[in-house]
Structure 1
Amino acid sequence: MSMNEKVAQALEKQINEELYSSYLYITFADYYEERGLKGFANWYMIQVKEELDHAMAIRRYLLDNDYVPTMEAIAKPNLSFSDDLEPLKAGLEHERHITDCIHACYEVAREAKDIRTMRMLDWFVEEQGEEEANARDMITNMELFGSDPKGLYGLDREYLERTYTQMTALPL
Structure 2
Amino acid sequence: MLSKKLEAALNDQITKEFFSEYLYLSMASYCDSIDLGGFANWFISQAEEEHQHAMKLFKYVQDREGRVALGAMEKPQHEFKDVMHLFEQVLEHEQFITQSINKIYELAVNEKDYPTQVELEWFIKEQVEEEKQVSDIIKQLKWIKDNPTMLYMLDQQLGQRVPTSLPAEEQK
Instruction: Give the TM-score band, short-chain normalised.
Output: over 0.9
Q: Does 1:118 align with 2:108?
A: no
Long gaps (5+) in structure 2: none
Assess if the C-alpha contact under 8 Å between 1:123 and 1:171 holds in 2. no
**Structure 1 consecutive aligned stretches of length 4 or more whose deviation exceeds 2 Å:** 168-172
Query: 1 CA distance for matches of 2:56 and 2:72?
Result: 19
Q: Which amino acid aligns with 2:26?
A: T
Match of 2:146 in 1: 147
CA-atom RMSD, angstroms?
1.4
Matched residues, percent identical?
A: 36
Contact 2:9–2:104 under 8 Å retained in 1:
yes
Does 1:36 find its partner at 2:21?
Answer: no
- Structure 1 residue aligned with 2:103: 104
Report the number of matched residues.
Answer: 171
Deviations 1:84-105 (A, max 9, x none): 2111000000000000000011
Assess if the C-alpha contact under 8 Å between 2:24 and 2:46 holds in 1: yes
Counterparts of 1:20 and 1:42 in 2: how far apart (Å)?
A: 18
TM-score, structure 1 as length reference: 0.95
**Which stretches in structure 1 are left out of the alignment for 5+ residues?**
none
On the 8 A contact 1:39/1:158 being kept in 2, the answer is yes
- Tell me the CA shift for residue 58 of structure 1: 0.2
What secondary structure, in the 3-state scheme, does the structure 2 residue paired with 1:73 have?
coil
- C-alpha displacement at 1:79, in angstroms? 5.2
Q: Could you tell which deviates more after superposition, 81-90 or 150-159?
A: 81-90
Query: 1:128 maps to which residue?
Result: 127
Do the aligned residues in 2 keep the contact of 1:120 with 1:170 (CA within 8 Å)?
no
